[in-house]
Chains A and B, each alone.
Chain A
């Protein structure tokens, strides 16, 4: 059990955060730039001194950063230039503080899919490749509490999924607690168990991801998306697609990029859905789902539709003109066309 109690005066506001998490839980910290997310991690890790942090009833607030049993991966966390990629990872293995979490090097490499990068020079890596190696290095330090500050900002969504799934895997199988900061709600919704929303240093929301991300999603001005869980992936190599079935449903989807080592859920941007009342047979859209309009929310420049697809929520964002043109009411059965998945 990790208990955090931070009350720290920063330059423009006071950082005031209290929460507690069980071991093996992933916490996503979400907030705009300047909200104090990085400062929060620094305070928890001991880089800023004197905050109340207890781990398993032990007060670790006054311990040096290397004795706290946690690793903080800063936003600016460069690889060591005097070693190559493998050297950086071995460095972490060799010099890790003694603890119970001994992640093996090859296990980590295959988990994150970075074996092709091992012999590269640090200076030849792209930004995204660097981030993957940095993350691997952090994991290899073997701490049971890992704090991550925007660890995947340079990665595209497909690569990100793999790593987010790896976090979920490690949290569940190796009982590692992760506290991850991101300004991408999508990322956190995908993998975090609990979410913490930070605004101007104040903890405005804390709770289970499904609830909190939904609440944040509903706020005006955020980009809307939803996740659909699926199962039974079948590869159709002749079309370069993967066919998946929605959970508790007969409906299927055809996905472009599917990674075996990832969670079986797909992120659908609310903007990438069009809706029709009738099912069009001759249409170029291969991903059409039957759904029911549960409710809608009219906002200034968009109308948000809350659709139910066999028990799963799907969010769709329409231009007010498009909504007018659609001309439907709640309770009606609609067809959602998913583009770009």
Chain B
């Protein structure tokens, strides 16, 4: 049992890292656009982004299962592009995780952008800095720690993903059998000993992640020096 558990752990960490990196890259410009958008559709966009927070993971998983089917548009397009299926594949659960953890990465970024906008970005616009200069040389440095906490939050959340992977994963070791699924397996098979061991390891990893998250999140908005613990 230990070998498949180890594989499951590696797979889970790999999934969490890839998902979080992709999410930061995807969410950063969207958060920037949304923070600057003041039109009347803003609440609708914000609600769509927050949906995965509220919907049960099994619901998300179920509809993804339908969407991944080679008979529907998404599944068909993917199959034509890559020759593979989305269900039961690592790519499939990455896609699922991207949706599942999106609000956890988007929220801190949105908050960060709003802070930066109200203080620094507006002043920089008035002074006459161009958009690209502000984006690359002002926003990104100021938002470094925000990006880090968004990443950590997405990472920690993806570590614990279960319901969604249960629906679309197919429980394939090394491909879609993440730790939460392996754990569920042990419990279902009445192998409580293995379940305890695996739980402990996952708990330890999650805890360490969160400790690091809070440790490095001390500095707000990339402040320097003594007042970094602002």
Where the two chains meet, the residues of A that have a C-beta atom closer than 8 Å to any C-beta of B are: 42, 45, 47, 64-68, 70-74, 76-78, 80-84, 91, 95, 97, 121-124, 137-138, 141, 143
- Which A residues touch B224, using CB under 8 A? 81-84, 121-123
> Does B80 belong to the interface (CB within 8 Å)?
no
Assess whether A66 is in contact with B123, with CB atoms less than 8 Å apart: no
Pick the residue among A76, A122, A143 that contacts B123 (CB under 8 A). A76
Assess whether B226 is in contact with A66, with CB atoms less than 8 Å apart: no
Given contacts A45-B126, A66-B128, contact A81 B137 (CB under 8 A): no
Pick the residue among B128, B226, B227 that contacts A97 (CB under 8 A). B128
In the complex, what's the smallest C-beta–C-beta distance from A120 to chain B, in angstroms? 10
Assess whether A80 is in contact with B120, with CB atoms less than 8 Å apart: yes
- Which B residues touch A65, using CB under 8 A? 125-126, 128
How far, in whole Å, are A47 and B141 apart by their CA atoms in the complex? 24
Given contacts A65-B126, A66-B130, A68-B128, contact A78 B120 (CB under 8 A): yes
Assess whether B221 is in contact with A81, with CB atoms less than 8 Å apart: yes
Task: Report, nearest first, the 6 A-B pairs whose CB atoms are least far apart.
Answer: A72-B126, A82-B222, A66-B130, A123-B227, A77-B123, A121-B225
Assess whether A72 is in contact with B127, with CB atoms less than 8 Å apart: yes
Pick the residue among B123, B127, B141 that contacts A82 (CB under 8 A). B141
Pick the residue among B137, B222, B225 that contacts A95 (CB under 8 A). B137
How far, in whole Å, are A121 and B225 apart by their CA atoms in the complex? 7
Where the two chains meet, the residues of B that have a C-beta atom closer than 8 Å to any C-beta of A are: 119-120, 122-123, 125-131, 133, 137-138, 141-142, 144, 221-227
In the complex, what's the smallest C-beta–C-beta distance from B176 to chain A, in angstroms? 41
In the complex, what's the smallest C-beta–C-beta distance from B71 to chain A, in angstroms? 48
- Which A residues touch B122, using CB under 8 A? 74
Assess whether A138 is in contact with B142, with CB atoms less than 8 Å apart: no
- Which A residues touch B123, using CB under 8 A? 74, 76-78
Pick the residue among B119, B125, B137, B225 that contacts A78 (CB under 8 A). B119
Assess whether B223 is in contact with A138, with CB atoms less than 8 Å apart: no
- Which A residues touch B129, using CB under 8 A? 66, 95
A–B Cβ pairs within 8 angstroms, 17 of them: A47-B125, A67-B130, A71-B126, A71-B128, A74-B122, A76-B119, A77-B126, A77-B127, A81-B142, A82-B221, A83-B224, A84-B224, A123-B224, A123-B227, A124-B225, A138-B127, A143-B128
- Which A residues touch B125, using CB under 8 A? 47, 65-66
Assess whether A81 is in contact with B128, with CB atoms less than 8 Å apart: no
Assess whether B127 is in contact with A73, with CB atoms less than 8 Å apart: yes
Which B residue sits closest to A149, measured CB to CB? B126
Assess whether B142 is in contact with A80, with CB atoms less than 8 Å apart: yes
Which A residue sits closest to B133, measured CB to CB? A95
How far, in whole Å, are A109 and B125 apart by their CA atoms in the complex? 24
How far, in whole Å, are A77 and B120 apart by their CA atoms in the complex? 7
- Which A residues touch B130, using CB under 8 A? 66-67, 97
- Which B residues touch A78, using CB under 8 A? 119-120, 123
- Which A residues touch B227, using CB under 8 A? 123
In the complex, what's the smallest C-beta–C-beta distance from B218 to chain A, in angstroms? 14
Which B residue sits closest to A45, measured CB to CB? B126
How far, in whole Å, are A137 and B129 apart by their CA atoms in the complex? 12
Which A residue sits closest to B127, measured CB to CB? A71
Assess whether A82 is in contact with B142, with CB atoms less than 8 Å apart: yes
In the complex, what's the smallest C-beta–C-beta distance from B31 to chain A, in angstroms? 19
Which A residue sits closest to B230, measured CB to CB? A123
Most buried by B among A71, A95, A123: A95
